[in-house]
Amino acid sequence: MSRRYRTSVALALAGATLLIGIAGCSDATEPTPTASPTAEPTEAPPAAPVLHPDLSASENLAYFDAVNLAVIAADPNAGGRAFIDALVAGGFDRAAMQVTNDRTTIDEPADSIQFSVAFQGECLVGQYGPKSDGYHGAVRPLLGTGSCLVGQTRPIDW
């Protein structure tokens, strides 16, 4: 064998040994780093509003609205009775409520209905219907008559 051939073989073996040695430096049992998702702090959803009979009408408006919005979610065509029944079930005093008619004097569906609860010297008033652009709730002062709604209302006798 020629010297050149032996040198080439020796260099090839040395290179192979070096490559094997470098590959052996890696520990295959060691886990490879992976990006772990950053845990974002999650906020608890806001607590559902509750009725506070000892607080003002303004402080109970969110609860009043929540009750009425639940009625609409259950039945987008809900009438006055559904709102009154839900408000009574929610803890409001039926005797302090008023509601307008669901139908006009010529027996057409009302453009909107209004319902109210006299509460702590003020009025919680809701309005809903196709012409009122959805649901609206507000706190208004009691009228001089001690009631909340102007005009003819229907008896809540059910």
Query: How do the domains of the chain map onto residue ranges?
Result: 57-141
CB 73 within 8 A of CB 86: no
Task: Using DSSP, state whether 101 is helix, strand or coil.
Answer: coil
Interstrand relation of 113-119 and 122-128 (parallel, antiparallel or unpaired): antiparallel
What is the rounded radius of gyration, in angstroms, for the C-alpha atoms of the chain?
Answer: 37
Confidence category of residue 46, pLDDT binned at 50, 70, 90: confident
Please state which of the ranges 44-48, 71-75, 92-96 shows the lowest mean pLDDT.
Answer: 44-48
* Assigned token pair, 22: 């470098």
